[in-house]
């Protein structure tokens, strides 16, 4: 099992890692324990490739060279979310 598959959020954390919404149980902006394989946000502009929401700096976020890894992590996040349902 990959490390991201067993990821569990901290008790009391209401942060939705898929959407970036919700109340956190800590003072961190992003979850400091989130495995990289579940991070679907562009490191440059924070565009969410899971929800396809945000304000991308580039004209076509699906081809942005800065977000190759986050786009590749979308399938991992979908599987993680489905596992929780």
Name the H helices within 9-84: 68-84
Range of lowest pLDDT (3-7, 27-31, 35-39, 72-76) = 27-31
Q: What is the pLDDT of residues 66-78, one digit of tens each?
A: 889 999 999 999 9
For the cut 70, the answer to whether the pLDDT of residue 16 exceeds it is yes
Domain that holds residue 22: 3-84
At 26, the pLDDT band (50, 70, 90 cuts) reads confident
Question: Count of domains in the chain?
Answer: 1
For the cut 70, the answer to whether the pLDDT of residue 50 exceeds it is yes
Place of tokens 């899971």: 50
Query: Which are the contacts of 66, defined by CB distance < 8 A and separation ≥ 6?
Result: 42, 43, 44, 45, 58
The pLDDT value recorded for residue 1 is: 67
């Amino acid at each position: 099992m990959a490390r991201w598959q067993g990821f569990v959020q901290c008790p009391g954390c209401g942060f939705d890692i898929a959407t970036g919404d919700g109340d956190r149980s800590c003072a961190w902006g992003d979850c400091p324990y989130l495995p990289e394989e579940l991070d679907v946000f562009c490191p440059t502009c924070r565009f969410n490739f899971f929800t396809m929401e945000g304000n991308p700096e580039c004209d076509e976020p699906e081809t942005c060279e800065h977000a190759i890894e986050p786009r590749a992590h979308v399938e991992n996040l979908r599987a993680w979310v489905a596992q929780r349902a």
